[in-house]
Chains A and B, each alone.
With several copies, the nearest count.
Chain A
Amino acid sequence: MGGIQGARSVMRLVVEKLAAERGGRAVFADLSFVVEAGTLLRVSGANGAGKTTLLRILAGLAAAADGNAAWHANDDLVRPAEAACFVGHANAFNDALSVKENLAYAAALSGHNASSQNISLILDAFGMKAMINRSFGTLSQGQRKRCSLARLLLLDSDSASNSNGRGGRAWLLDEPFVALDVDTQAQLATVISAKLVAGGLVIYTSHQAVDIHAANTQEILL
């Protein structure tokens, strides 16, 4: 399953003099920071400051204009696709397929073998079990978001790296609380805390004030 050997993987992100451009305009420049496993990093800034751009670069979905961002697992360099999971505005679910079919596909693509039980267990945690066979296109905005988060957990849960409580892939969450109702927001905060306690690394953006219990926190203002 690629470069990460679960049992020992401790993630670490090193960003050096990173710069980004969109449409020929500089969005940010000369950004340097280091994030260690077990840390919660919040990226803040006004609308258009470049938060989404930064997260997409870290996830390997966009190219930096300058500088670089390197993911290390136990000091070995790993590809962003193997090091991090990105959840953004587009939810990466097909409208015509059912929630379950979508999740099974995503799991298989990233090399996991999600059993039916596993899927329904995780959906249950987000109160979506009853909708497991609904086609995704018929869900409400918040229900869609819950599905995205369920996928995040699914891809984390049965990877060897997580089973012994050592973090697993880093999470890159772009506005994860948007569209969730208050209860689910709290629930997500708990999930993030648990990830951090297990030695995971979480980077998120949010314009909403949601308390996340975390031992180590960092913040970047773009």
Chain B
Amino acid sequence: MSLRGATTAVIRRELQLFAQRKSDWANPLMFFLIVCSLFPFAVGSESEKLKLIGIGVIFVGALLAAMLSLPKLFDEDARDGSLELMLASPEPLAALILARVAALSLALGIALSAVTPVFALFYALPFDVAAMLSLNVLMAVPTLLLVGSIAAALLVSARGGAILTAVLVLPLTIPTLIFGAGAALKVLYGESPAAELALQAAFMLLALALCPLAAAAALKISTD
């Protein structure tokens, strides 16, 4: 009952912040858009080449956009002291973190996967590939944010070797990337993407189960 109160409060606050500062979700979107449109300038405009890199660029772009909004999770709160409210709450920290990641995933995941098909167009990809990419972005963003929340929590005080944690955490997102881009590639080659999708979903559930607990532990470590 009170746990529900606390988690809804976390989500409500997150949404209030999104409403207050549209830039929180609009800017990652613009970043994604711009990253996707930079590559042709560097690679060339032949549509054969573009088709080749399109899936990769779009997927990596979405992951980077999500990764860049990770600092929003705890940094500002740590600076103004709000993080201590969360730590001092009688409710389980992992649940509160999960609520916060959920709000961010929802906003960001939906926004990014909604514009993905447009970029697929820029890279001369067919419609079914675009749809598959979009679905995979929707699944990958929450996974990445969940895994990333551990890093974000560790980085709050930046005492525990900021770089080391980034190096440790980022490789964990590679499966997401492989399965996500793989599913779209399968569709491009006319094969069934079922295996990749299943693995992607499994990976997401695993992250959902483990990451909030790990992030809670990390947060406690880094605020000592």
Binding site for B on A (CB under 8 A): 1-2, 59-63, 81-82, 86, 88-97, 101, 104-111, 113, 135
Contact = CB atoms under 8 A, between A and B. Distances in A.
A86 B12 CA distance: 24
Interface in B143-194: 159
B76 A109 contact: no
Interface string B68-99: 00000000110111101111111100001000
B90 A81 contact: yes
A81 B20 contact: no
Nearest to B77: A94
B223 A61 contact: yes
B20 A97 contact: yes
B1 to A, nearest CB: 10
Contact of B13 (A61, A92, A105, A111): A105
A94 B5 contact: no
B80 A109 contact: no
A92 B16 contact: no
Interface residues of B, number: 30
B91 A92 contact: no
A96 B17 CA distance: 7
Contact of A1 (B8, B21, B84, B90): B90
B209 interface: no
Nearest to A93: B80
B2 A60 contact: no
Nearest to B78: A90
29 contacts: A1-B2, A2-B90, A59-B88, A60-B88, A81-B89, A86-B88, A89-B81, A90-B79, A90-B80, A90-B84, A91-B81, A92-B80, A92-B81, A92-B82, A92-B85, A93-B81, A94-B76, A96-B20, A97-B20, A104-B9, A105-B12, A105-B13, A108-B6, A108-B8, A109-B6, A109-B85, A109-B86, A111-B5, A135-B20
A111 B90 CA distance: 7
Contact of A109 (B16, B20, B89): B89
Nearest to A81: B88
A97 B223 contact: no
Contacts of B79: 90
Given A81-B90, A109-B85, A111-B2, A91 B20 contact: no
B67 interface: no
B66 to A, nearest CB: 21
Given A94-B82, A96-B159, A82 B9 contact: no
A108 B90 contact: no
B80 A82 contact: no
A104 B15 CA distance: 14
